[in-house]
Amino acid sequence: MKTKLLCIPCLIVLFVLTGCSYFNYFTENKYEDHKFFGDSEPAEFAPASDFDYTASAEGIVINGYKGNAENVGIPYQIDGVDVVAIADFAFQQSDIEGVFIPETVETIGKNAFDGCRSLKSINLPSSVTQVGDYCFNLCTSLESASLSFSAPEISSYMFYGCESLYILTVSSSVQTVESYAFYGCKSLKDFSIPESATKIGNNAFDGCTSLRNLGMNTKLEEIGNNAFFGCESLSFTELPKALRTIGDYAFYGCVSLRYCTVYESVTYIGSFSFATCPEFYHLTIHAIGATIGNGAFTNCSQDMTIRSYTDASMIVAYCNSNGIAHQDLSLY
């Protein structure tokens, strides 16, 4: 009995010593067992007869799918020739649930998987250098997207209305997140802006109501109009030092946002950019020549305070004309 009782404190000590590391392992690997078709090479590929295709000088282009399989493994070759492209509208409104895209594919056209409402996962290999607009538009069951591609941008409307998307990995090749790329992805909770990215386009994350963790890189220069409009779970404390422009309505309705710091490179804080953020009460601006647009802090906290250098005459004048408290940054 005494031996058993002595084991209890030992277990407690063991939990204290290992609990944190176990928790980190669990959270970092919580999706490890969540596998989807297309994450790896399938055991069997779809036959050539399941596709409408043409041969170009570069290789085979998939123009359409006429099979009835739920999971489609696009082959590396058809008739001994590499499959290099998926054409515009090729799988539009198909009932497929999964697709494997081989490493031979270089381009995927606009609306290629538009309206595939049963599609659950997509993995774009590093061979892909171009993806058209609206590619996965309204794929409402899409849960996982792995963008291992070499494309320089996440194209406009690429995941528009993908309301189930919550697992997302993005290649370091991305320089721009284009307009409406993730509009309405209301299940997306985490996004790390690739280190190479310099621009987030208009409405890129508009309506991503569950987005809470936003990993900012150091090179980001532009946040477009309405970029994070209505991201009600989003909270952060610091914007990148390279940032130059915060677009109109950029963080409108981000009701969890409380305070923020912007640095010397910022030249414009857009109209209504932080409006209707009722918890937002403090902004530190290191820039001297920044312009603040109309209504930038409308319906923010009644205790709203802006801290800047007194040399920033436009900021001081803005505070005075809008009844916002100002503090001299040189005193802090």
- DSSP secondary structure letters along 87-130: -TTTTTT---SEEE--TT--EE-TTTTTT-TT--EEEE-TT--E
Measured at the CA of 302, the angle between CA 296 and CA 308, to 5 degrees, comes to 55
In a domain, 149, yes or no: no
Torsion of CA 153, 156, 162, 167, to 10 degrees: 10
- DSSP H/E element including 282: strand 282-285
Could you give the number of structural domains in the chain?
Answer: 2
Name the residue among 92, 127, 96, 134 with its Cα closest to residue 113: 92
C-alpha to C-alpha distance for 150 and 129, rounded to whole angstroms: 5
Give the pLDDT confidence score for residue 181 in this predicted structure: 98
Residue 264 CA neighbour count, 13 Å, CB half:
1
Q: Is 15 helix (H, G, I), strand (E, B) or coil?
A: helix
Helix ranges (H only) for the chain are 2-28, 313-322
* Segments forming the whole domain that contains residue 282: 175-332
Cβ(73)–Cβ(48) below 8 Å: no
CA distance 216 to 89: 34
Can you say whether the dihedral through the CA atoms of 320, 325, 331, 332 is positive or negative? negative
Q: Taking the CA of residue 200 as centre, how many other CA atoms within 13 Å lie in the half-sphere pointing to its CB? A: 34
φ and ψ of 284, to 5 deg: -105, 125
Contact predicate 87/107, CB 8 Å: no
The token pair that represents 1 in the structure block: 């009995």
**Residue 132 CB neighbour total at 10 angstroms:** 20
> 308 CB contacts (<8 Å, ≥6 apart)?
284, 285, 286, 287, 315, 316, 326, 328, 329
For residue 296, the model assigns a pLDDT of 97
In a domain, 99, yes or no: no
Residue 34: its pLDDT value, please?
59
Q: Is residue 250 part of a domain?
A: yes
268, part of any domain: yes
User: Residue 134: inside a domain, yes or no?
Assistant: no
Q: Is residue 63 one of the residues assigned to a domain?
A: no
Residue 212 lies in a domain: yes
Non-local (6+) Cβ contacts of 329 within 8 A are: 284, 285, 286, 307, 308, 309
What CATH number did the domain enclosing 261 receive? 3.80.10.10
Average pLDDT of adjacent 10-residue blocks, the chain of 332 residues:
46 39 32 71 95 96 97 97 98 97 98 98 97 98 96 98 96 96 97 94 98 91 98 90 97 96 96 97 94 96 95 93 94 87
Instruction: Please check whether residue 144 lies inside any domain of the structure.
Output: no
